[in-house]
């Protein structure tokens, strides 16, 4: 799998796409394949403040319930409402329309602690 090089990645299999002072957050293709068919998504509340590593919400698949972790500190400014009606969008387009939420960043320099695409590929192939 080729992972978009315009994003940063976490060991917990989330991706981050910086858009100025906000960041789009989602789960990786690797994560959605490991989860299997996703049937329900618990989204974070708009206005929720998180620190890196805090639980943003959960994803329920036919195999398990998994937590989604905040890759960076910030405030949730938007959750992807499409996932309420179509949770399977996380399976179909995890790096596109299946994004999870948008965070207003506390510090864009926090991205420096995340992985580049090549490093994430090495992690998933290990």
Q: pLDDT (tens digit, 9 = 90+) per residue, 59-109?
A: 999 999 999 999 999 999 999 999 999 999 999 999 999 999 999 999 988
- What is the model's pTM? 0.94
Residue 50 is inside which H or E element, if any?
Answer: strand 49-50
pLDDT grade for 2, boundaries at 50, 70 and 90: confident
Give the pLDDT of residue 108: 83
| CATH number of 8-105, picked from 3.40.50.720, 2.40.50.100, 2.60.40.10, 3.40.50.2300 | 2.40.50.100
Q: What average pLDDT does the structure give for the chain?
A: 95
Residue whose C-alpha is closest to residue 15's, from 97, 53, 54, 71: 71
- What residue ranges do the domains of the chain occupy? 8-105
């Amino acid at each position: 799998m080729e992972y978009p090089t315009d994003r940063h990645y976490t060991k917990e299999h989330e991706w981050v796409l910086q858009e100025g002072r906000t960041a789009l957050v989602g789960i990786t293709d690797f994560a959605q394949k490991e989860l299997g068919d996703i049937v329900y998504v618990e989204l974070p509340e708009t206005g929720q403040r998180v620190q890196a590593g805090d639980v943003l919400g959960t994803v329920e698949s036919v195999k398990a319930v998994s937590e989604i972790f905040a890759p960076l500190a910030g405030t949730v400014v938007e959750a992807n409402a499409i996932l309420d009606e179509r949770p399977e969008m996380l399976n179909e387009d995890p790096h596109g329309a299946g994004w999870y939420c948008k965070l207003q960043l506390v510090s864009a320099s926090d991205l420096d602690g995340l992985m580049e695409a090549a490093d994430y590929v090495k992690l998933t192939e290990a």
